[in-house]
A and B are shown apart, each in its own frame.
Chain A
């Protein structure tokens, strides 16, 4: 496999990692660039096919929106919902401060 297939650059990989909320190391960015490049090059095989006028198929069954009656039903409840929280504060999920005091 060639070192860099140019399908995707280091900068692209860094951008995608940021969008996907991942923090790969320098070495990992290098590795992903090479591997994703090879995969994308393979994927471009699809361009051999003329898909003009072909409908995209997102779902293989003919489904439409499914509605249910608007009935009140039992839900999980606070304790079950919060049982797996990494940090809990009473009836809340605890997270670090989101707004800077200076912006308040």
Chain B
């Protein structure tokens, strides 16, 4: 029973709770016993809130019992990436510099989850300040991939992805600056959506690259992603980059999910796909075949500047990071060095002691790109290249409704395999980064397994603010395949 309960989608669980077939307390207890069993070797969570979660679950159960209305996530246990501010527990960003930081307010998305009657079970591990592609850069702990515990879960939302895959929550929130939701979703065999930049408020998301960061869900199904997006999307006066709903209207993303898109045209970039490993190419080709069988027209498109996305991204993102992370000064909050000789050491020694290597590397790279004499050659050039990349998307979408490509050139790699060489790690982001530079929405859905039984993700990218359509396109594939129904066999279940 417990196993079946844990395999339910958010939508299924919510409906069972609402109809009294299962209580939220039961579901929450099942999640915490799954955490007790599996967390010791998966390492997905930085903190958990058992008491508070059970209290919330009880509250939802009582509301239902007394016939009161409950929110759209009524009683469903959810996890959140520990880069989102919460008034409960610490908000660490997996960094020693924030290890004991307690945020004075809830991120808008966290408040929205609570208002939707979600039960928040814990905060998940990540690459420190969301900088990384494997979660190995966490300053606090290691997370492994539930499909093969010798492999990385992907990153930076590796804790969220592995918690969903290991069924230690029913869904999770992540953040995506260069693929940090989609790539771990793909490595762990779950669904992950990066919404259009501006669709979801970033208020209370600890900033990394502010013009690229976006919050989104990691779930077991496309339907759950639609449900989560319904809850978190929308303008917020606390985030002036969240888009006015009169310009980009919201939709009920669940409403027409089951309705296929008629006359769908999918764009494929042949040259790009050939850069991926054989089993991935095969899975993507098969996925394209599934769409063809549904009457979809496949259009060959070109993205001539795609190859330059990594170069542009690692200048833009690090420049923004160097500015954003200047706030960690050892004065206002966070780690302060024990015995500074002077006030300069309060800054520099505190930062040196508590920032991990990758964070330091990116701060230095960004500082260099912005420094006098190099600004034009690196930062400004990168912004111009960024515009060319956005132009590629604008042109492509004249010919097709969406673009399909891999998420990553490989499936989940071994722990330690790429960590020694930062550039090699950066190059693995080739397929995900362009969406952030252009702002467009992109989703990863399970589309197969390689010879080692590791999940492969299919990436679908759409034009700005077309999440409704994007989710329907993803659902067309999901409804014809069973990859999303497979879960990793856990050591203890």
Contacts and interface: CB of A to CB of B under 8 A. Distances in A.
A26 to B, nearest CB: 13
Interface in A14-70: 16-17, 19-24, 28, 32, 35-36, 38-40, 42-49, 51, 54-61, 63, 66, 68
A36 B368 contact: yes
B364 A93 contact: no
B347 A81 contact: no
B333 A16 contact: no
Shortest Cβ-Cβ A-B pairs, 6 listed: A60-B439, A56-B383, A84-B333, A86-B336, A57-B387, A66-B240
Given A20-B364, A84-B102, A96-B342, A57 B383 contact: yes
A103 to B, nearest CB: 13
Contacts of A51: 381, 384-385, 388
A60 to B, nearest CB: 3
B428 to A, nearest CB: 13
Interface of A: 1, 8, 12-13, 16-17, 19-24, 28, 32, 35-36, 38-40, 42-49, 51, 54-61, 63, 66, 68, 76, 80-81, 83-87, 93, 95-98
A51 B346 CA distance: 42
Interface residues of B, number: 68
Given A84-B100, A84-B102, 17 more contacts: A16-B367, A19-B367, A20-B351, A21-B344, A39-B426, A43-B382, A56-B380, A56-B387, A60-B437, A61-B243, A66-B240, A80-B104, A83-B102, A84-B333, A85-B331, A86-B333, A86-B334
A22 B197 CA distance: 31
A55 B390 contact: no
B346 A96 contact: yes
Interface of B: 100-102, 104-105, 197-198, 211, 237, 240-241, 243, 305, 307-308, 310-312, 314-315, 322, 326, 329-336, 340, 342-344, 346-349, 351-352, 355, 360-361, 363-365, 367-368, 371, 378, 380-388, 390, 421-423, 426, 437-439, 464
A39 B101 CA distance: 33
A61 B437 CA distance: 11
Contacts of B368: 8, 12, 16, 36, 40
Given A22-B364, A36-B365, A68-B237, A59 B211 contact: yes
B343 A19 contact: no
Nearest to B366: A20
A71 to B, nearest CB: 11
B105 to A, nearest CB: 8
